[in-house]
Amino acid sequence: MEELSIRLKIADREYGIKAEPDNETLVRDAGRLIQEELKKYRDMGVRDTQDALAMLAFDCLVTKLRSDQQIQRLQRMVFDKITQLDQVVTPAITS
């Protein structure tokens, strides 16, 4: 599949980004969200673009780490439930 060349404006700069056609909407949404978050920081009084981008990057990583923890908890819960079901079903099948 051929990649698309997408132009995004982030923090008053234009960037050329390559994306698979299936991911075009995702890439454009990410660019829009970055712009919206930068605006929030500017509205809070953060004038330096580099500071705003650093804070945005930090917030994104905290959110990602929190999501990773939730996924790990859910995976453990699913594994535990499967183990419980296996303990109930295995004796019934083998006897």
Mean pLDDT, contiguous 10-residue spans, the chain (95 residues): 91 94 96 95 94 96 98 98 94 84
Torsions phi, psi of 30, nearest 5?
-60, -45
Token digits of residue 14: 């234009």
Three-state SS for 25? helix
Task: Give this prediction's pTM.
Answer: 0.74
Which of 33, 78, 39 lies closest to 60 in space, CA to CA? 33
pLDDT of residue 95: 74
Q: Residue 49's pLDDT is what?
A: 93
Q: What is the largest CA-CA distance in the chain?
A: 72
Which has the closest alpha carbon to 27: 7, 41, 11, 57?
Answer: 7
